[in-house]
Amino acid sequence: MITKSIRKGDRVYLGRFTEEDLDKVSTWYHDDEYMRCMDAAPSFPLLKRDFKDWVELKPREQKSFLFAIRMIEDDSVIGWVDLDDILWVHRNAWLAIGIGERKIWDQGLGYETMQLVLNFAFNELNLHRVQLTVFSYNKRAINLYERLGFKYEGAQREFLQRDGELHDMLMYGILSHEWLKNDEKKRS
């Protein structure tokens, strides 16, 4: 008997994007701090249709699971999380997350979301490895990933330049047995 929800936590759940979400999501892509944490490309605002195209193409690839992060209390969208470029034969995927609503930063919702998506990756998709990259200046994200059990695996040194300073792009990964061991500890 299955007793644990796959995509629903205490405060957030992993759902789908709707047409009504597009205006709100578009505002995130006009926020320089958000954009500089998400992409090495120059911070350039996206149009609503750019995000819509991305959302509509993802499910067709069969190598990606893109979720809207939604608040349980009011069904509002606060961000997205994506398991991408899945190599099924090797059971390996890339992970990216973006919490666009600044007012809820530092409230543990990223942690809850990551627990849900890692549970989905390892227990529902039967993946073995999940990896991600993060810029060295994004201390909030680095702390989150390390708290979840991700291991630092290396860096692309001086990968990008922002405001006249060079920054590394760090690589982190977590294996299914590491996640399952950490998950069991949390439940005991």
Would residue 128 count as lying in a domain? Answer: yes
The boundaries of the domain holding residue 117 are 12-187
For tokens 């922002």, name the residue: 162
Would residue 2 count as lying in a domain? Answer: no
Asked whether the whole model's pTM tops 0.75, one would answer yes
Would residue 5 count as lying in a domain? Answer: no
Got the DSSP string for 34-96? HHHHH-SS---PPPHHHHHHHHHHGGGGSS-EEEEEEETTT--EEEEEEEEEEETTTTEEEEE
Segment 31-82, tens digit of pLDDT: 778 778 777 777 766 666 776 776 776 665 678 899 999 999 999 999 999 9
Walk across the sheet containing 65-71 and list its strands: 12-15, 65-71, 77-87, 92-99, 129-135, 165-175, 151-162
For tokens 């993060």, name the residue: 134
Q: Angle at the Cα of 118 (from 7 to 180), degrees rounded to 5?
A: 115
Would residue 6 count as lying in a domain? Answer: no
How far is C-alpha 68 from the chain's CA centre?
Answer: 10
Would residue 59 count as lying in a domain? Answer: yes
Distance CA 160, CA 167 (A): 5
Mean predicted confidence (pLDDT) in 16-29: 85
Max CA distance (Å), the chain: 56
Supply the CATH number for residue 18's domain.
3.40.630.30
Tally of CA atoms within 13 A in the half-sphere of 150 that contains its CB: 26
Domains in the chain, number: 1
Would residue 53 count as lying in a domain? Answer: yes
Distance CA 101, CA 110 (A): 11
Would residue 7 count as lying in a domain? Answer: no
Distance CA 122, CA 29 (A): 30
Instruction: Specify the 3-state DSSP secondary structure of 144.
Output: helix
Segment 104-154, tens digit of pLDDT: 888 999 999 999 999 999 999 999 999 999 999 999 999 999 999 999 999
Would residue 4 count as lying in a domain? Answer: no
What pLDDT score was predicted for residue 94? 97
